[in-house]
Amino acid sequence: MADRNVIIIGSGPAGLTAALYTARANLKPLLVEGLEAGGQLMLTTMVENWPGFRDGIMGPDLMTEMRAQAERFGAEVMQGDVTRVDLQNRAFTLTFANGKSVTTDSMIIATGASARWLEIGSDRKLSGHGVSTCATCDGYFFRGRPIAVVGGGDSAMEEAIYLTRFASKVTVVHRRDTLRASKIMQENAFANPKIEFIWDSEVADVLDGGKGEVEGIVVRNLKTGQQMTLPLHGVVIAIGHTPNTSLFAGQIDLDGNGYIVTHDGSKTSREGVFAAGDVQDHIYRQAITAAGSGCMAAIDAERYLEGLSHHLPPEAALQTTS
């Protein structure tokens, strides 16, 4: 018999919603926060597109409220990081950084996907203060202001085109002299009068003038080495995301980019293992869609557990991690 009914790995909107729903189903879930507790919303400032908050809510505050709601119904939240997962046996085993292990009858993977950064220091420093990795999330904050988009693929063009709804001008900075985006996306971007391009260049620095908010960027031409300063008020980094799936490689099906493949809702290729949020969604990548998929995974896990003859009583689940 496994130690737990269900373990949820990840504490962003998907993981916390799954914890809420499984707790309300009296499954006594264990949620493992991971190294980045709260997910990417912990890196944002004001969230204005979460339903029910007319005036918006700070990202960290939203995560605090979601965690408290899940705990209210009996979810147990554990700080720490999972270093190894064994999905080969019917009772899945998780091993933590402190060397301890726990088994579970079902698992919900909500480890998310990490945005790729420029790794120049100032980009991460000013995250949430003019530097963003999500135009849909933060575009409204740039209304009437010039901004830059870094990248040359479909995602970058999509972000740039979307941002023209708000920004006075969008400058795309790309390392090459041609875009990697699909032909239709290129045509749409080139046809937009608000979008300009700087080719063969990279962002060498993000400037804040000592005020803690973006005031410009330093752009370096990769062919000539020349640098120029571009005054603007925002930078959207669109060079891709990396799904946090290294723990599961070789144990469940991943697509060519490392995202978990799901079917019939949140089911993975391994019976009893479910996935929710950005770890299996490379299209929408929104907090609200992640939360919705967390609900789906919780319901799928509950139905799966109902079919197990050795379903662990909630009282026993409480005792195994005390």
Active site residues: 134, 137-138
Nearest in space to 112 (alpha carbons), one of 267, 293, 251: 293
121, with CB counted inside 10 A (0-12, 13-18, 19+), is: exposed
Strands 113-115 and 241-243: antiparallel
- Cα–Cα distance, 64 to 198 (Å, whole number): 41
Strands 30-32 and 82-86: unpaired
Name the pairing type of β-strands 4-9 and 169-173: unpaired
Which H or E run includes 15? helix 13-24
Angle 115-301-62 (CA atoms, 0-180°, nearest 5)? 45
The whole-angstrom separation of Cα 292 and Cα 46 is 21
Measured at the alpha carbon of residue 134, what is the angle toward residues 70 and 61, in degrees to the nearest 5? Answer: 30
Q: Which residues pair with 260 in a beta bridge?
A: 254
Whose CA is closest to 177, among 221, 232, 216, 218? Answer: 221
CA gap 269, 253 in Å, rounded: 6
**CA atoms of 154 and 159, how far apart (whole Å):** 9
The phi and psi torsions of 108 (rounded to 5 degrees) equal -115, 120
Q: In what order do the strands lie in the sheet with 227-231?
A: 201-207, 216-221, 227-231
3-class secondary structure, 93: strand
